[in-house]
Amino acid sequence: MIKVGVVGGTGYTGVELLRLLAQHPDVQLLTITSRGEAGVAVADMFPSLRGRVALKFADPATAPLRDCDLVFFATPNGVAMKQAPELLAAGVRVIDLAADFRIRDVALWEKWYAMPHACPELVAEAVYGLPEVNRENILAARLVANPGCYPTAVQLGLLPLVEAGLVDSSHLIADAKSGVTGGGRKAETHLLFAEASDNFKAYGVPGHRHLPEIRQGLSEIAGHSVDLTFVPHLTPLLRGIHATLYARITREENFQTLFEQRFGDEPFVDVLPPGSHPETRSVRAANTCRIAVHRPQNGDTLVILSVIDNLVKGAAGQAVQNMNLMFGCDECAGLTQIPVLP
């Protein structure tokens, strides 16, 4: 059994991670931390976990994290980078669901996240945890930077085109929408029901923290610098990301076949038949990305539709997928849930 600790188990990503780990056949949950809720039974805060998680939240200062085989950080940005070095030195492997290790250029990270990096020496070692791109490197990783939710949907949608060099990578566009859980489990005015319900708006148009992460990933896939216009939107959904991606064709190909072949062996990417329009509810609570390929009016622009559950393939599910790879488990272990409908 893999002895697992979860740092920061009180947010939406944290409870989603607990839901998946509690039914994983190869996992023993050893400790779940929270400074504010230390001593409180996890199932008292999250009744959905009654009968499945018997632990109480532990204070991070006294939790037996060093006794774990793996520690997940489901914490705000800036937490994992302060605690990861000590855990790694003790032989504990780490998966960070925040952004502390995603961007290789430390100065660029500090610019976008407005804080000094606490352990820049580990950034180069961290493996970016997008299995469809970095599976082999994830297998032996000590430290995995779990991708962001928008970056997962956008990169998977554009991956085959950029990888094969079939589109103009200097003029890519990602128009993406997210449910309110993407903003975290906190009290902020724009996330209140009266503000987000019956409403739809763009945000972060001048620049969003996920932009450098997406550009970095696509540039590494392409082998050269990639430019991207990325505009996120907030929608009145609890879960889900829908990314509409635009790419100008530079070389002809059977694009449907390209996507089907590229993702044919990927257990969590589903390329839909021609003419399909994937819905966010078709992936709700599942670790699945569904993709559809369109070429409107047979013109020179491809439109790729990519949907994920932001809390699963966009966060906790992908983290568990990475854990499975790191510890030699079946990659699909604990992740075979059928999406919830309605």
Give 301-342 as a DSSP string.
Answer: EEEEEEEE-TTIIIIIHHHHHHHHHHTT--TTTT--PPPP--
Residue among 68, 119, 149, 289 flagged as catalytic: 149
Cβ atoms within 10 Å, residue 93:
18
Residue 314 burial (CB count, 10 A): 30
- Nearest residue to 334 via CA among 10, 19, 24: 24
Instruction: Say how far apart CA 126 and CA 145 lie, in whole Å.
Output: 6
What count of other Cβ atoms lies within 10 Å of the Cβ of residue 222? 18
Q: Kindly give the residue spans of alpha helices, DSSP state H, lying in 23-178.
A: 42-45, 80-89, 106-113, 131-139, 149-164
Q: Determine contact, residues 334/9, Cβ cutoff 8 Å.
A: no
User: Is 119 one of the annotated active-site residues of the chain?
Assistant: no
Cβ neighbours of 281 (radius 10 Å): 16
The answer for 223, left when phi > 0, alpha when psi is -120 to 50, beta otherwise, is left
Q: How many CB atoms lie within 10 A of CB 140?
A: 9
Report the alpha-carbon distance of residue 271 to residue 236 in Å, rounded: 26
* Vertex 15: Cα angle to 280 and 290 (nearest 5): 20
Reply yes or no: is the peptide bond before residue 147 cis, omega within 30 of 0.
Answer: no
Q: Which residues are catalytic?
A: 149
